[in-house]
Chain A
């Protein structure tokens, strides 16, 4: 089933905590893994990198090699990377790096060691945290509770299209575009074809997960000249399968729904803020008491919220 959530605040705030509450209420939709994407204050220069290493005993070597790849591309750590270890073999890294001379080329270089240390998000603002387990387990382990920002995404996964691996969980980053992330509920039925086309165009995918292509697909359409709204509208006819996905970057959050209206999305839009969830009972965890809920139940719906406008509307 999977459950997705989105939250846009009118100002910098406790978006991490809100996302955890939204996802905790949807943990029954899938607890194979849970993930969060949080947009903090955008940096003027440098990128926040979130990555996952697969063997904690190699942590030191992995980071040395990672730094070597950075230096090869004219970049370096701006701060000492921080790591999150758990009981499992994998570990998570947060690093702040200076601007590489060519971001796409650096991502390509860093991906040479993706079998050991996989980059999961790169952004001036975006940080993706994901791991196996339910919302509370992941939030406690990575302290998502205290992550602050203006907006973000959440995802609870019931693994259907690929393995239960910590890196095969959502949100997915639009490798190598900075600051773009998606969460998806549904199944993409033509993803091998779509992925093949994108791979031929030079994009790289890290998992066998069908959802991984959505962020790259939308970003690629925009690179070819479509606006974000146009790319979302095109996705309804161009991507085959059933889906509701939420996509974010620094300025906006949008969604698209398939032609058969198979997957739900409900929102609360008030006081210059927006809350989205797969289930109404989820958004009610953030909005206590009776509140007007919008059900985006129809087919082929897309929508885009500008984070700035929501803030301005408040």
Chain B
């Protein structure tokens, strides 16, 4: 087991805590952050090779702008976990709030519980695995990358998806505007299952639905105006 240095959050300022985290990361030390008390912006902008465990629930934007670190959140995460992550690996053991991996570019975010609305909003690459259910409007306006939900999807799934893919095993409450369910190719399924197997989630019996953009929203035509209205 990795020997970890202890970093206490408590009442210290987030700037102070993050400077501490950055210095430890630079020194190549693995970290355990205790008593996070759901504070916001913890561990933002972590560099390649950083290894950090949060012992408790974190607030908004934990692991945001990640650039190659491994982040392990042992309980819940608030909004925007891993926002704009370029590369790296974030695991949330419990529930993750709204906008998981918003605008992320690469790497992996793995949520073991459910997550809130707009998971993967505007994502531009990488993978998000959610073992539970993804919330309302997940995949909203994503440009690239994959969202893989094992426990179903909430309303308006893949709403206004631009490109990229949303893979759902389980029930979908409803599809969003311009979202289209297509039959995945066997090699695509194999690729997804290989990724899942790497996280100990192998199960070849899953009934996948792959959702992609219907591409009707790519070009505005006045006769399609109704399709632009979400309500």
Contact = CB atoms under 8 A, between A and B. Distances in A.
Contacts, number: 51
Interface in A224-282: 259-261, 264, 279-281
Residue from B38, B39, B75, B135 having most chain A Cβ neighbours under 10 A: B38
Given A280-B78, A298-B136, A264 B98 contact: yes
Contacts of B116: 261, 295, 297-298
Given A261-B135, A290-B57, 20 more contacts: A259-B231, A264-B79, A264-B97, A279-B38, A279-B60, A279-B78, A280-B38, A280-B57, A280-B59, A280-B76, A281-B38, A281-B40, A290-B56, A290-B75, A293-B38, A295-B95, A297-B98, A298-B154, A299-B117, A299-B136
A290 B58 CA distance: 11
6 contacts: A279-B38, A279-B60, A284-B38, A295-B116, A298-B117, A298-B135
Q: Which interface class (under 10, 10 to 19, 20 to 34, 35 or more) fits A? A: 10 to 19
Interface of A: 259-261, 264, 279-281, 284, 290, 293, 295, 297-299
The 6 closest A-B pairs by CB, nearest first: A297-B116, A280-B38, A281-B38, A261-B117, A299-B136, A284-B37
Contacts of A290: 56-57, 75
Contacts of A284: 37-38
A285 B154 CA distance: 31
**Secondary structure class of chain A's binding surface, majority of residues:** loop
B38 A297 contact: no
A284 B58 CA distance: 11
B129 to A, nearest CB: 19
Nearest to A282: B38
Contacts of B57: 280, 290, 293
Contacts of A259: 231
A167 to B, nearest CB: 31
B155 interface: yes
B78 A297 contact: no
Contacts of A261: 98, 116-117, 135-137
